[in-house]
Amino acid sequence: MPSKLDQLKAMTTVVADTGDMEAVRAFAPVDATTNPTLILKAAQLEAYAPLLSEAIVWGRSHNHLTSEVADRLAINFGEELTKIVPGRVSTEVDADLSFDIEGTVAKAREIIAEYERRGVGRERILIKIAATWEGVRAAEILQAEGIDCNMTLIFSLAQAAACADAGAFLISPFVGRILDWHVKTEGKTYTAETDPGVLSVKQIYAYYKAYDVKTVIMGASFRNKGEIEALAGCDRLTISPQLLDDLARDHGEMQRRLDPASAAGRAPARLDLDEKTFRFLLNEDAMATEKLAEGIRLFSRDLRSLRELVSQRLLAVA
């Protein structure tokens, strides 16, 4: 019997959640996603020293700001990933722009322009933006310009519905982080079928299919193989190298769990969202409110760490 990874690929687009090029080559996903945390880890590996060195040399020779060099490093990784995967690569806008519509739009345009200067078309890139109200509005502007967006840090139906209304290309619901909150808050254990993160994605999937939403759903942030199996059939799933390896080694049967026709019949009522309603619904959901804020803080922290790494290299003796 084919591995569970191969079975999953037959029903779901598999995406590698890593900056490690060797892992991407090993598991042959269609797409790849990155974020400041993954870039920070990969940039410290000897295998990717040339990507860091190129950015440092460029920064020194043109007297660029540390933040600009860090941006170049992220795009260096993204460009290399486009040479490996046949599909899309996600590059994240700075987390400290999560509440800045104009800043997010400007940064996204800069990222796309740099990729295009390197011969990488915008059709190969997804701009990752935190799904705040401001992030959603920025995505609406960018999508109208033909810049496709990956709305990240999705923890609630309200966020998913707002992203759909804005015409976002893709959303990334964070399955594992939802589970983490419930385990910590409630002190309970869950099976794959009762996992709150899995149930959240199933609810969003039903909503999108019932109302013919074209936005792609890409489950993310998995804690175990069971969560992935419970979402087999989802549009896309972005998976860490460790879990990709686990799936590749397992030759048991994997059943399709999500199907558009059957899911649509279980959809919640359609949401009519303006800014006040969005903020109220998000505020009513303690988990989503806390995990969105925490996610932005963590990405901001790792972005600062990445910039510090770049700063130290810029100041080092050449």
The candidate with the shortest Cα–Cα distance to 220, out of 22, 26, 25, 37, is 37
Instruction: Report the residue count for the chain.
Output: 318
Measured on CA atoms in the order 98, 103, 104, 107, is the torsion positive or negative? negative
CA distances from 35 to 73, 218, 267 (A): 12, 15, 31
Question: What token pair was written down for 89?
Answer: 């690569």
Separation between Cα atoms, residue 39 and residue 61, nearest integer Å: 23
DSSP three-state, residue 192? coil
Separation between Cα atoms, residue 166 and residue 159, nearest integer Å: 11
Question: What token pair was written down for 192?
Answer: 């794959």
184 in active site: no
The candidate with the shortest Cα–Cα distance to 260, out of 290, 234, 297, is 234
Catalytic residue selected from 4, 107, 128, 225: 128
CA distances from 98 to 6, 41, 156 (A): 36, 22, 17
| 296 Cβ contact partners less than 8 Å away, ≥ 6 residues apart | 95, 98, 130, 132, 153
Answer whether 23's CB lies under 8 Å from 80's CB: no
Separation between Cα atoms, residue 40 and residue 57, nearest integer Å: 18
Question: What token pair was written down for 118?
Answer: 């390197």
Answer whether 77's CB lies under 8 Å from 42's CB: yes
Question: What token pair was written down for 288?
Answer: 């989503």
| Residues labelled catalytic | 128
